[in-house]
Amino acid sequence: MKDVYRSLDNLIKECPQRSLQNGDRYVIMSDLHMGDGGSRDDLAHNRALIVKALHYYYAQGYTLILNGDIEDVQKFKYAQILTAWRDLFKIFNDFAQDNRFIKIVGNHDIALLHDTDYPYPLHHGYSFVKGNDRLFVFHGHQASKLFSEYDYISEFVVKFMAKPFHIKNGNVAHHSKRRFAVEKRIYRYAQDRKVIAIIGHTHRPLFESLSKYDSLRWSIEDLIREYALASGERREQIRITLTVYKAELERLEKQKLKEKISRSLYQASPLLVPCLFNSGCATGKKGLTCLEVSAERISLEYWTPRGQAKSYIHEEALRQENYEDFQKYTLKEDDLGHVFLRISLLGSES
Least confident of 11-25, 264-278, 306-320: 264-278
pLDDT in tens, 150-201: 544 444 444 444 444 444 444 334 445 677 788 889 999 999 999 999 999 9
Bridge-based pairing state of the strands 326-335 and 297-305:
antiparallel
Of the chain, the percentage scoring pLDDT greater than 90 comes to 61
User: 201 and 179 in contact (C-beta within 8 Å)?
Assistant: yes
pLDDT in tens, 223-256: 787 788 888 888 888 888 788 877 877 776 666 5
120/314: higher pLDDT: 120
Name the CA dihedral angle for 325, 330, 331, 337, rounded to a multiple of 10 degrees: 160
Least confident of 140-144, 150-154, 262-266: 150-154
Note the pLDDT of residue 230. Answer: 81
pLDDT classification of 9: cutoffs 50, 70, 90? very high
Note the pLDDT of residue 23. Answer: 95
Note the pLDDT of residue 171. Answer: 38
Note the pLDDT of residue 223. Answer: 74
- pLDDT over threshold 90, residue 330: yes
Note the pLDDT of residue 245. Answer: 75
Note the pLDDT of residue 161. Answer: 41
pLDDT in tens, 286-301: 999 999 999 999 999 9
Q: % helix / strand / coil in the chain, to the nearest 5?
A: 45, 20, 35
Average pLDDT for residues 85-98, to the nearest whole number? 98
Query: What letter does residue 163 receive in the DSSP assignment?
Result: T
- Mean pLDDT (the chain, rounded): 85
249-253, 307-311, 315-319, 337-341: which is most confident: 337-341
pTM as predicted: 0.84
DSSP 3-state assignment of 21?
coil
- pLDDT over threshold 70, residue 99: yes
Among candidate residues 62, 68, 127, the one with its CA nearest the CA of residue 91: 62
User: 49 and 303 in contact (C-beta within 8 Å)?
Assistant: yes
Q: Is the dihedral of CA 34, 37, 43, 48 positive or negative?
A: positive
CB neighbours of residue 287 within 10 Å: 25
What domains can you pick out in the chain, each with its CATH number?
2-209+265-346 (3.60.21.10), 212-263 (no CATH)
* DSSP annotation string for 182-229: HHHHHHHHHHHHT-EEEE-SS---BBTTB-HHHHHHHHHHHHHHHHHH
47-56, 137-146, 204-213, 267-276: which is most confident: 47-56
Average pLDDT for residues 321-345, to the nearest whole number? 94
Cα 18 versus chain centre, distance: 21
3-state SS, one letter per residue, for 1-15: CHHHHHHHHHHHHHC
DSSP 3-state assignment of 255?
coil
* DSSP annotation string for 73-126: TTTS-HHHHHHHTHHHHHHHHHHHHTT-EEEE--TTTGGGGG-TT-SS--BSEE
Note the pLDDT of residue 244. Answer: 80
User: 34 and 43 in contact (C-beta within 8 Å)?
Assistant: yes
Least confident of 19-23, 64-68, 123-127, 149-153: 149-153
pLDDT in tens, 105-126: 999 999 999 998 999 999 999 9
136/184: higher pLDDT: 136
With a CB cutoff of 8 Å and minimum separation 6, the contacts of 67 are 28, 29, 30, 104, 106, 137, 138, 139, 198, 199, 200, 279
